[in-house]
Amino acid sequence: MRKLHKGIIGVVMGLTLGLTAIVAPLPGEQNVAHAAWTQAKADKVINTGKKYLGRPYKFGAKSSTTAVFDCSSFTQRVFKVAVGKSLPRTSRDQAKKGTSVSKSNLKKGDLVFFKASTTTTNKRITHVAIYAGNNKLLHTYGKPGVTFTNFKGTSWEKRFVSARRVL
């Protein structure tokens, strides 16, 4: 009877430790939010952005309007509506969110940041776009308003400063 009792206690203790290891977070991982990129989230971002194609560009556009956008009010609106992700109002502040991504590892839904011109050495961020996959950017600027443009081999690529994954 004593051996059976010890055996049952051993099994219960083993199961308890095993379950604790599965459920309990690893040391140092408490309260760590892991943003997980998924194709579904990325598609939702792009499809939401497409709804605004052709909307005029207006520098300093208010976050509360969808009649006009500037680059960062556009990305702010798209991510909030598509996936509930809150982004700061300016492109420079948006460039501090998420995790850094190299130009060669861009995925659909990544934010891409640019400097003012191809000739300046100043890396000050002046524009943000959403990488739409297949060498396309979804963003707003100047005359076309919200539009898709090519990325690689264009002045946009030459103005590239950084990219962030916020999904």
Among residues 71, 111, 125, 161, which one is catalytic? 71
pTM tops 0.85: no
pLDDT for residue 79 is more than 60:
yes
Q: Rounded CA gap, 126 and 159, in Å?
A: 10
Q: What are the φ and ψ backbone dihedral angles of 103, each rounded to 5 degrees? A: -60, -35
CATH topology of domain 55-165: endopeptidase fold (from Nostoc punctiforme) (3.90.1720)
Give the three-class secondary structure for 129.
Answer: strand
Q: Give per-residue pLDDT as tens, 36-78.
A: 889 999 999 999 999 999 999 999 999 999 999 999 999 999 9
47 and 132 Cβ atoms separated by less than 8 Å = no
Among residues 44, 85, 139, 159, which one is catalytic? 139
Most confident of 17-21, 25-29, 66-70, 120-124: 66-70
Among residues 127, 159, 164, 165, which one is catalytic? 127
Residue 95: name the closest of 125, 63, 115 by CA: 125
Q: Based on the residue annotation, tell me whether 5 is a catalytic residue of this protein.
A: no
Give the residue extent of every domain in the chain: 55-165
Q: Based on the residue annotation, tell me whether 34 is a catalytic residue of this protein.
A: no
Q: Based on the residue annotation, tell me whether 127 is a catalytic residue of this protein.
A: yes
Q: Give per-residue pLDDT as tens, 121-158.
A: 999 999 999 999 999 999 999 999 999 999 999 999 99
Angle, to 10 degrees, between the axis of helix 71-83 and the axis of helix 39-50? 130
